[in-house]
Structure 1
Amino acid sequence: MTDGYLGFAGVGPGTAGPSAGESSDEALVRRLKRLLLEEVDLHELGRLDEATRRTRLERVLNHLVSREGIILSTRERTSLVRRVVDEAVGLGVLEPILADPSVSEIMINGHDTVYVEKFGVLERIPSGFTSNEQLLQTIDRIVSTVNRRVDESSPMVDARLPPDARLPRGARVNVVLPPLALRGPTVTIRLFPRRYGMDELMARGAVDKATAELLAAAVRARLNIVVSGGTASGKTTMLNALSAYIPEHERIVTIEDAAELSLAQEHVVQLETRPANVEGRGAITIRDLVRNSLRMRPDRIVVGEVRGGEALDMLQAMNTGHEGSLTTVHANTTDDALSRMETLASLSEVEIPFHALRDQVNSSIDLIVQLVRGPDGTRRVVEVAYLSSRRREEFALSRIVHWDNPLRAFVRHPLHHQLAARLVERGEELPDGFVVADEHSGVDAGGGVAWS
């Protein structure tokens, strides 16, 4: 463990040695925390704001380091004081990580193993918590901010942390305690992404200009769009970017497990699910919220992700006057996305014949945007497809754009005539670079044209 304040030059003669399994660094941190508690009035500190509290503790700790004869460089002393204060009143080693804007996710596998995701790539950080007890204390501080608890009787918790000074973007935290987690307390903190516009996604190579213009026209023309992809492939980011093209005068209802979406429009109603209480009661699901949203006079419904029976309610909403709705689904390809939507819809308690479910999917979904996260962490649109089948026909997807990895380019295909007609009817111009397929040329007309 090395993080500036570790591996220091030496300590004074009064320093107690480390206990079994504890490094000299951890022993010093533990000793300074004990001395700090003897020097300060916790009741008085509790009345101060966080900035003032930290400043006072840093001053006391600097005095203690000098009094105990601990020999450190200026950099080592600063880092040591920061760590002790973080562990005493903050979130320990998480404090500097949370301050790093390049970190998108934090994964703690026991007190001594911490990984972070930066730009889509996992890396282990050299420092960790001093003990499981310190990690448990930090977990308690995190979940208590949202009036939740996690202990042996309730060893799992999933909660959303609202934005604050420490978490300006907000975060979603998941905790699993022993004995369910065999290697010690396990914490996953997903920092909510900041809102990326389509221009930024184009600059990052996630999508090309013509495809972005086509998707923008599709949103304005009130086509129903499903964003598909695997875990951490950028589905929420794309959903945010697409939502920016919804006209200002429309009423939007968003529904999520944890409120990550950040829409720029003024007339937005945000709904969030609620887990069951300790007695197992009071849960409000995505499906409950989708059903309720239909009574809220929405022009558009945006569901963060469908993963159960709410898929049926979402399809029915898309097909009964709520055109232009958006959602995401976990799937590896556009074909899989359709099959998964059909399967999820069948999970509702309503018994619907298989062919009727296919009718619902064909009548509801217009476009599927497939995202993939590459080995290097890059997120990219790899396919956009139009669902051209109708009623109870077999699913037929007309590819519009796909990413050709060997060519390192986006390849465009002729637009299905039905899609082109719908865009024109709604007053949208076809983006440059696209042509319309002949009505009798088949589902996917012609080869594509590559554009880097």
Structure 2
Amino acid sequence: MISSEPEHEVIERQITKRLMSDPEALSGGVSLEVLVHRAVREEAPLLGRQASSELTRRILANVSGLGPLEEMLEDTNVSDILINGPGPVWIERRGCLEQTEVELDEASIMQFVERMIGPLGRRVDRCSPIVDARLPDGSRVNVVVSPLAVDGPAVSIRRFGSRQLSLSEFCSGSVCDLLVSAVRERRNIVVFGGTGAGKTTLLNALARAIPPTERVITIEDTAELKLGLPNMVRLEVRHENSEGVGSVTTRELLRTALRMRPDRIVVGEVRGSETLDMLMAMNTGHSGSLSTCHANGPDDALRRLETMTLLGDTDLPLSAIRSQLGSAVDLLVGVQRCPDGKRLVTSVSVVDETGGDVSASPLEK
């Protein structure tokens, strides 16, 4: 690794500034890597090979990539990269938050934001101060700028590890066997937990118990699921473009999925009125479907599903919604993140409907 001596930082800054201010050189016939390598040799001819290569890599990241964020994105132990405005960058590594030595000013943050979302046809500015997008590597990025972000642009990048966790890493053998049997017996399952608890990761692990002979349609706000099934279609919500048109919602994709001859439908997360469509799909021959929602416990998950269903343009009474919910959802599986960063299944509950009400009874805890 190159040392952090000031002269190296000065050289890095000078070459980066020179190349960024010379668009003709960047668009010429010579590759950017060759240009940077030449510049490093000119500015620091006595630099050793390893230090020179490291300096070249950092300048390339500054000019064409995400600068110091590149190294964080390449670290497989980093799950979240958090920028709270000008100042230090925070990361979550192995489940624990830590402050890095990297500090960014507002201009650098906005430059990196533009590089992330520009190629995706998205924009963020005072008129459109919030944007969600998916990077080419599958990472999910959320950006909030002024006037909503008071202290400067806030950026949250959620990375998804290349290693897929097995179900046995979430729970004991008996619970694992119970959940595998539930999936294979085509029980409808909703995974619940807090933000960052591991809901999507657990959903991935559960879905790997689906037989390869079945056709599965996945619907997600941001494509994260990696099920590895041979007969699968992945659908992703499309947000409105810079002109405010062209959006395709989860609800629309659910209705489309029903016309695609699915054996099972997997909805990454239900957040609103699409909950009713999901429950109706579960009740109309698409058993074995899976989804997630934000909730703190099984009873809270049921109330959340009720509330989200009521958000839709429906005149169904609460009793009818509870009837749908009671007959649609078979199991509620809770997951949480422990202080050491490990994700664990905290409860498995069966959904019961009695006397016009729905409740969750624990099977395993």
Q: Secondary structure at the match of 1:283?
A: coil
Distance 1:6 1:278, change over 3 A: same
The runs of 5 or more residues in structure 1 that have no matched partner are 12-24, 164-169, 403-452
What are the equivalent positions in structure 2 for 1:243-258 lying under 5 Å apart? 243-258=207-222
The runs of 5 or more residues in structure 2 that have no matched partner are none
- Amino acid of the structure 1 residue aligned with 2:113: I
Find the aligned partners of 1:95 and 1:240 in 2 and give their Cα distance.
Answer: 26
Contact preservation (8 Å) 2:221, 2:250: yes
- Amino acid of the structure 2 residue aligned with 1:33: T
Partner in structure 1 of residue 36 of structure 2: 57
Q: Does 1:98 align with 2:73?
A: yes
Distance 1:318 1:195, change over 3 A: farther
Partner in structure 1 of residue 359 of structure 2: 396
Contact preservation (8 Å) 2:306, 2:321: yes
Is 27-36 or 375-384 further displaced after alignment? 27-36
Q: Secondary structure at the match of 1:376?
A: coil
Q: Secondary structure at the match of 1:187?
A: strand
Q: Alpha-carbon deviation of 1:32?
A: 2.8
**Partner residue of 2:287 out of 320, 323, 338:** 323
Contact preservation (8 Å) 2:272, 2:308: yes
Using structure 2 for the length normalisation, give the TM-score: 0.92
Find the aligned partners of 2:92 and 2:116 in 1 and give their Cα distance.
Answer: 20
Contact preservation (8 Å) 1:229, 1:371: yes
What are the equivalent positions in structure 2 for 1:41-52 lying under 5 Å apart? 41-44=25-28, 48=31
Contact preservation (8 Å) 2:40, 2:55: no
Q: Secondary structure at the match of 1:196?
A: coil
Contact preservation (8 Å) 1:132, 1:185: yes
Using structure 1 for the length normalisation, give the TM-score: 0.75
Partner in structure 2 of residue 307 of structure 1: 271
Q: Secondary structure at the match of 1:358?
A: helix
What is the alpha-carbon root mean square deviation over aligned residues? 2.3
Q: Secondary structure at the match of 1:311?
A: helix
Contact preservation (8 Å) 1:93, 1:128: no
Find the aligned partners of 2:282 and 2:326 in 1 and give their Cα distance.
Answer: 11
Distance 1:315 1:34, change over 3 A: closer
**Partner residue of 1:31 out of 10, 14, 22:** 14
- Structure scoring higher RCO (CA < 8 A, sep ≥ 6) equals 2
What percentage of residue pairs aligned between the two structures are identical?
44
Contact preservation (8 Å) 1:309, 1:348: yes
User: Could you say which structure has the higher strand fraction?
Assistant: 2
Find the aligned partners of 1:329 and 1:259 in 2 and give their Cα distance.
Answer: 16
Contact preservation (8 Å) 1:369, 1:381: yes
Q: Does 1:113 align with 2:88?
A: yes
Find the aligned partners of 1:197 and 1:325 in 2 and give their Cα distance.
Answer: 20
Distance 1:316 1:41, change over 3 A: same
Partner in structure 2 of residue 332 of structure 1: 296
Deviations 1:201-257 (A, max 9, x none): 42x4x2111111111111111110000100010100111111111111111110000
Find the aligned partners of 1:35 and 1:229 in 2 and give their Cα distance.
Answer: 49
Find the aligned partners of 1:38 and 1:328 in 2 and give their Cα distance.
Answer: 49
Contact preservation (8 Å) 2:195, 2:294: yes
What are the equivalent positions in structure 2 for 1:250-289 lying under 5 Å apart? 250-289=214-253
Deviations 1:69-127 (A, max 9, x none): xx878776655443333212221111111111101111112243211111111111101
Find the aligned partners of 1:258 and 1:30 in 2 and give their Cα distance.
Answer: 35
